[in-house]
Amino acid sequence: MLAALRRPLAHVLRLAAALALAGCAAPDETEPGPAPEPTEVAFPATFSWGAATAGFQIETGLADTDWGVWAATPGKIQNGDLPDAGPDAFAHVAEDVAALLAAGLDGYRFSIERARVYPTRAAFDADAPDPAGLAAYDGLLAALDAGGIRPMVTLHHFVWPRYMSDPALAASPQGWERDDAPAVFGAWCRRMAARYGDRVDLWVTINEPNVEAMIGYVAGYFPPGVSDPDRLADVLRRQVSAHAACYDAIHDDDATDADGDGASALVSVASHNRLYEPADPTSAADLAAVAHSRNFWNLWLLDAVVRGDVDLDFDDVVDVTADPGLVGRADYIGLNYYGTSRINAAALKLPYVGVVPAQFDLPNERPKNDLGWDIYPPGFGVVLDEVARYGLPVYITENGIADALDVNRSRFTAEHLFEVGKAIARGIDVRGYYHWSIIDNFEWASGFCPRFGLFQVDFTDPARPRSPTSAVPMLAELATSGRLTKSAIAALPPYQSKPSPCAGF
Give the nearest distance from C-beta 323 to ligand FCB in angstroms: 26
Q: Determine the Cα–Cα distance for residues 364 and 375; give it in Å rounded to an integer.
A: 11
Work out which of 205, 207, 271, 410 binds ligand FCB, going by CB under 6 A: 207
Q: Determine the Cα–Cα distance for residues 493 and 491; give it in Å rounded to an integer.
A: 7
Concatenate the DSSP letters of all residues of 263-313 into one string: S--EEEEEEEEEEEEESSTT-HHHHHHHHHHIIIIIIHHHIIIII--B-TT
Rank residues 114 and 272 by Cβ distance to ligand FCB and give the closer one.
Answer: 272
Q: Does 54 bind ligand FCB (CB under 6 A)?
A: yes
Q: Does 66 bind ligand FCB (CB under 6 A)?
A: no
Give the nearest distance from C-beta 127 to ligand FCB in angstroms: 28
Encoded one letter per residue, x for contact with ligand FCB by CB under 6 A and - for no contact, window 420-459 reads ----------------x------xx-------x-------
3-class SS of residue 435:
strand
E strand or H helix that includes residue 137: helix 131-146
Rank residues 241 and 441 by Cβ distance to ligand FCB and give the closer one.
Answer: 441
Rank residues 85 and 284 by Cβ distance to ligand FCB and give the closer one.
Answer: 85
For ligand FCB, how many residues bind (rule: CB under 6 A)?
A: 12
List b or e across 88-100, with b for residues whose CB sees 16 or more CB atoms inside 10 angstroms: bbbebeebbbebb
Concatenate the DSSP letters of all residues of 342-361 into one string: EE-GGG-SS-GGGHHHH-TT
- Secondary structure string (H, E, C) spanning 184-219: HHHHHHHHHHHHHCCCCCEEEEEECHHHHHHHHHHH
Contact between residue 92 and residue 464 where contact means Cβ atoms under 8 Å apart: yes
Rank residues 355 and 484 by Cβ distance to ligand FCB and give the closer one.
Answer: 355
Give the nearest distance from C-beta 360 to ligand FCB in angstroms: 12
> Which stretch in 90-98, 206-214, 246-254, 307-315 sits in contact with ligand FCB by CB under 6 A?
206-214
Bridge partners of 435? Answer: 51
Q: Determine the Cα–Cα distance for residues 483 and 455; give it in Å rounded to an integer.
A: 23
Give the nearest distance from C-beta 157 to ligand FCB in angstroms: 6
Work out which of 76, 109, 238, 272 binds ligand FCB, going by CB under 6 A: 272
Q: Determine the Cα–Cα distance for residues 351 and 355; give it in Å rounded to an integer.
A: 7
> Which stretch in 186-194, 203-211, 345-353, 380-388 sits in contact with ligand FCB by CB under 6 A?
203-211
Q: Does 211 bind ligand FCB (CB under 6 A)?
A: yes
- C-alpha 131: how far from chain center: 29
Rank residues 19 and 218 by Cβ distance to ligand FCB and give the closer one.
Answer: 218
Rank residues 19 and 58 by Cβ distance to ligand FCB and give the closer one.
Answer: 58
Give the nearest distance from C-beta 446 to ligand FCB in angstroms: 8
Contact between residue 494 and residue 505 where contact means Cβ atoms under 8 Å apart: no
Work out which of 81, 208, 303, 311 binds ligand FCB, going by CB under 6 A: 208
Q: Does 337 bind ligand FCB (CB under 6 A)?
A: no
Residue 397 is given by DSSP the state E
Give the nearest distance from C-beta 426 to ligand FCB in angstroms: 26
Query: Where does this chain bind ligand FCB (CB under 6 A)?
Result: 54, 57, 207-208, 211, 272, 336, 398, 436, 443-444, 452
